[in-house]
A and B are shown apart, each in its own frame.
Chain A
Amino acid sequence: MKMTTADVEYVARLARLELTPGEKELFAGQMGAILGYVEKLKGLNTDGIMPTSHAVPMENAFREDVIRPSIGLEKALANAPEREGSFFAVPKVIE
């Protein structure tokens, strides 16, 4: 299946990735090959087969509604590029 560099640009923008023109060409080819493979699978008859959402045959993993200690403010903010008091500080986002 053919992927254009415009397709790559669209996906890259949604994922906030900055790509060079060379990378766009490269990924267009690679992604096209992947989608081409998936396209091939579409030819199989899958009537009556439940779509696979998960590779592991497991269901209903729960936890009870019981409080466990949080890690604490300092640890929570330890990786923050910027902090102010108890907050993560980020460039202004206001509507």
Chain B
Amino acid sequence: MKYQPVIGLEVHVQLLTDTKIFCGCSTMFGAEPNSQTCPVCLGLPGALPVLNKKVVEFAIKAGLSTNCSITPRSIFARKNYFYPDLPKGYQISQFEDPICQHGWLDIKVNEQDLKRIGITRIHMEEDAGKLVHGELSGRADDSGVDLNRACTPLLEVVSEPDLRSSDEAVVYLKQLHQIVTWLGICDGNMEEGSFRCDANVSVMPVGSSTLGTRAEIKNVNSFKFVKQAIEYEIQRQIDLIEDGGTVVQETRLFDPNSGTTRSMRSKEEAHDYRYFPDPDLVPLVISDQWIERSRQELPELPEQRQHRFMTELGLPLYDAEVLTASRALADYFEAGVAAHGNAKLIGNWIMGEITRALNDSGTSIEACPVAPGQLAELLKLIDNGTISGKIAKTVFDEMWRSGKAAQAIVEEQGLVQVSDSSAIETIIDEIMAANAGQVEEYRGGKEKVFGFFVGQVMKASKGKANPSVVNELLLNKLKG
């Protein structure tokens, strides 16, 4: 029998606020355990949570950018369960009336086609603390609790079960990741857990309209693992059904080392969270004016910007996609275009030399040592014939190292292109004299030798000879 996988994703997006969602403790990553805590996030009796306004603003932006409607009146709820990383015995979350509902993302399933993936809801909630195992000296049988992360603001973005393959899941996830980092509401660091994903996976016979029983896979913290975990889980369920078994609804943990998922027995207990409205937090009312103001503040989103790069600047789809990979990259590109004008050329340099240099040095575009205006100055030197495209790459490397302007480097190192025909003719004469054999070969009809002469002339001129002048003079001279 053929099976159809059905996948829905729950994505936790850690928000880039300075403080926690319900108290003024810092959210800085990497501090000494439990040093960023107070009575609110420690869950001490009598402490009262107060909502961080920025969290609401970020949530509205996320909602508007994913085509959600913003709920005019939403409330917070307590989700009750016991776990050592949850000091209050409940997590403050949203249950009924989450802040954003009924959105969607159109994902690219191939070159031409878009597929609409529903977003059921986006709600605000607090994170739990962090548990460490096997790190306490002399206490192999104990776990450690660090509550620095407790009360860190999260958005949970819940998709409809509209995804039909691991590839679609990854595309959706990447698109969502791009949006939240583009908005500047999340740093997107998956290794540190700023953007993490649980996958609900089930399978049903092809043609069926009844969804199978799903398993929820936790702990998938990279795009690669999402694909791996979903594929493993799909196959596990199919094998189980083929062998006459039944899938049970359960939480499973992905193990990146083995690429498998396994049941989390401790979380098998009935998921009866007994949600109820949190009396400590008053209802959140969002006016139309507030929504409108947020809409005005939204940056041009990746899709819109791609479209504009194609229609206004004439870029091909591929270039437009690459150059909108991040907002900073797109900004860099546009600043370059403003300073130079040739969008295609600027784009090629960013996708070529700049990207290579960034990757080689592990630098982000935000910290690129060559500013867009400096890149434009370099390209102008090619445009006006001062240097060749090849020399420009040498100059670029020097700009990267020293931070100097292109013009200064060209002058200092005497890299100005030689277009003067008499100087080039002298070089050509010398090379022809030294390679009489090859000259004969060329004249005997072996035209491939032409490339050899070009190479020799460029080498003798230290790359400074104007290539088109070299070609023209060589052709004439070799003809004899």
Interface residues of A (CB under 8 A from B): 14, 16, 53-56, 58-73, 76-77, 79, 82, 84-95
Contacts of B38 in A (CB 8 A): 68, 70-71
A17 to chain B, nearest CB (A): 11
Expressed in whole angstroms, the Cα–Cα distance for A89 and B139 within the complex equals: 9
Contact yes or no, B142 A91, CB < 8 A:
yes
In the complex, whether B71 has a CB less than 8 A from a CB of chain A is no
**Partner pick for B80 among A14, A53, A92, CB 8 A cutoff:** A14
Expressed in whole angstroms, the Cα–Cα distance for A82 and B142 within the complex equals: 10
Contact yes or no, A53 B142, CB < 8 A:
no
A84 to chain B, nearest CB (A): 4
In the complex, whether B37 has a CB less than 8 A from a CB of chain A is yes
In the complex, whether B259 has a CB less than 8 A from a CB of chain A is no
Decide if the interface of chain B is mainly helix, strand, loop or mixed: loop
Contact yes or no, B26 A70, CB < 8 A:
yes
Contact yes or no, B50 A62, CB < 8 A:
yes
Given known contacts A67-B18, A68-B19, A70-B38, A89 and B279 CB-to-CB distance under 8 angstroms: no
Contact yes or no, B131 A93, CB < 8 A:
yes
Contacts of A73 in B (CB 8 A): 32-35
Given known contacts A54-B277, A68-B24, A70-B26, A63 and B84 CB-to-CB distance under 8 angstroms: no
Expressed in whole angstroms, the Cα–Cα distance for A14 and B144 within the complex equals: 24
Contact yes or no, A94 B272, CB < 8 A:
no
Contact yes or no, A87 B34, CB < 8 A:
yes
Decide if the interface of chain A is mainly helix, strand, loop or mixed: loop
**Partner pick for A90 among B143, B253, B266, B277, CB 8 A cutoff:** B143
From A65, A67, A76, A84, name the one whose CB has the most chain B CB atoms within 10 angstroms.
Answer: A65
Given known contacts A86-B35, A90-B143, A65 and B285 CB-to-CB distance under 8 angstroms: no
In the complex, whether B83 has a CB less than 8 A from a CB of chain A is yes
Contact yes or no, B283 A54, CB < 8 A:
yes
Interface residues on B, range: 35 or more
Contact yes or no, B272 A89, CB < 8 A:
no
**Partner pick for B142 among A61, A64, A90, CB 8 A cutoff:** A90
Nearest A residue to B219 by beta-carbon distance? A95
Contact yes or no, A65 B18, CB < 8 A:
yes
Contact yes or no, A92 B18, CB < 8 A:
no
Nearest A residue to B267 by beta-carbon distance? A95
Contact yes or no, A59 B282, CB < 8 A:
yes
In the complex, whether B231 has a CB less than 8 A from a CB of chain A is no
Contacts of B274 in A (CB 8 A): 14
A sample of 17 more A-B contacts (CB under 8 A), given A60-B282, A90-B143, is: A54-B279, A59-B284, A62-B51, A63-B50, A63-B51, A65-B17, A65-B18, A68-B19, A68-B23, A70-B36, A82-B142, A84-B142, A86-B32, A89-B139, A89-B144, A91-B143, A92-B141
Nearest B residue to A57 by beta-carbon distance? B282
Expressed in whole angstroms, the Cα–Cα distance for A89 and B282 within the complex equals: 34
Nearest B residue to A55 by beta-carbon distance? B279
Expressed in whole angstroms, the Cα–Cα distance for A69 and B264 within the complex equals: 38
Nearest B residue to A68 by beta-carbon distance? B24
**Partner pick for A92 among B44, B137, B142, B279, CB 8 A cutoff:** B142
Nearest A residue to B142 by beta-carbon distance? A89
Nearest A residue to B77 by beta-carbon distance? A53
Contacts of A16 in B (CB 8 A): 82
In the complex, whether B60 has a CB less than 8 A from a CB of chain A is no
Nearest B residue to A62 by beta-carbon distance? B53
From B19, B34, B54, name the one whose CB has the most chain A CB atoms within 10 angstroms.
Answer: B34
**Partner pick for A63 among B52, B137, B266, B270, CB 8 A cutoff:** B52
Contact yes or no, A65 B80, CB < 8 A:
no
Contacts of A63 in B (CB 8 A): 24, 50-53
From B26, B36, B83, name the one whose CB has the most chain A CB atoms within 10 angstroms.
Answer: B36
Given known contacts A14-B272, A85-B136, A53 and B53 CB-to-CB distance under 8 angstroms: no
Contact yes or no, B52 A65, CB < 8 A:
yes
B34 to chain A, nearest CB (A): 5
Within 8 A of A (CB), among B49-80: 50-56, 73, 75, 80
B269 to chain A, nearest CB (A): 8
Contact yes or no, B35 A72, CB < 8 A:
yes
* 16 residue pairs bridging A and B, Cβ less than 8 Å apart: A53-B277, A53-B283, A54-B282, A55-B279, A62-B50, A65-B17, A71-B37, A73-B35, A76-B147, A84-B136, A85-B136, A86-B32, A86-B34, A87-B136, A89-B144, A91-B142
In the complex, whether B299 has a CB less than 8 A from a CB of chain A is no
Expressed in whole angstroms, the Cα–Cα distance for A70 and B37 within the complex equals: 5
Contacts of B277 in A (CB 8 A): 53-54
B149 to chain A, nearest CB (A): 13
Given known contacts A63-B50, A93-B266, A71 and B279 CB-to-CB distance under 8 angstroms: no
Contacts of A68 in B (CB 8 A): 19, 23-25, 38
Contact with A along B28-45 (1 / 0, CB 8 A): 000011111111001010
